[in-house]
Structure 1
Amino acid sequence: MARYSEEFKASVVQKMMPPNNVPVAQLSRETGITEATLYTWRKKTRAQGVPVPGDGLNPEQWRSEDKFAVVLETAALNETELSEYCRKKGLFPEQIAQWKTACLTANAEAAEQRKLLAEERKQDKKIIKNLERELNRKDKALAETAALLVLAKKARAIWGEREDD
């Protein structure tokens, strides 16, 4: 089992990151390192909070976790630093601004969703209550009709058939 230095691992992982975005399969062929090892290195780097999209994806196809990590990394940067960061990562400042907006509005959309679901649930409860009330009314009417039929049958059995005058 080969041991690789941390510097070598960092350089290989850097190739997976923007602006290079070298796919893991291609990087495996170039370096002779198995794909499983490269995926493990990428996973460990992601766990440290570094956005490593890999697999040649353009930034719009990144995972939401990677986009969020970029938003966090760039939150404290001024315009010049942000531009430098974007050049280094192969991004555009507008993309980061869109991702930031999406992150900020994510909870607002969830609150609206909860409010809509609560309203729908309330309407469903009303409908269910009305349907249950109607079902009970119909059950009572059916029971009354059945009782009348049984009584009519017993009356015929006791007094016989009705004679026409």
Structure 2
Amino acid sequence: MARQSYSKDEKLKYVQLFAKSGLTKWEFVTQHPEIKRTTLYNWITKYFPNQPSSEGGDTAADEKAEIPKDQLESKDKFEFVIDTAKMNEQEIGAYCRSKGIYSTELKSWKLNCMNANDNNNVVFAEENVKLKAEIRQLKEKLSKLNCKSAKKDKELERMQKALAEYAVKEAFLKKAQALFEESDEER
């Protein structure tokens, strides 16, 4: 395959297209299959050097943009969330790479920002979950106790009937004894 050469004007045309597109290097290169990826990537790097690389490489812009995570303050995190509020997933990915942060961290910060005024609700929600679990356990205990109570009630009812029956029999025996004693006296 013959090596193709491009004029400086052609190279600058693609670099200007890249600058206007707002895409990362990788996104732009993949959208232009008419030129070899490495060639186009090299042109962008050479003629537009301040653009951060899509892999979070070691360009000067990347080094300036990256903030050590242990030095991030709440306002920095909030700024990242605001900056990415209207971005799509690809743009967020490029932004995170340029700042040296993970998208999962950004999502976590976004949730924290959204729930900032609901800190009490978070605590209450956790407490609510615990209370619901406790209520469920108490209901189970109550159900078991109700079953035991129903069994005891049935047992008590059966014993009361047996006692009543015994009392009737005892009364009958006393009457029968009294009758037999009267008949023995009469004889």
TM over 0.5: no
Q: Which has the larger radius of gyration?
A: 2
TM score, norm. by length of structure 1: 0.40
Higher relative contact order (CA 8 A, sep 6+): 1
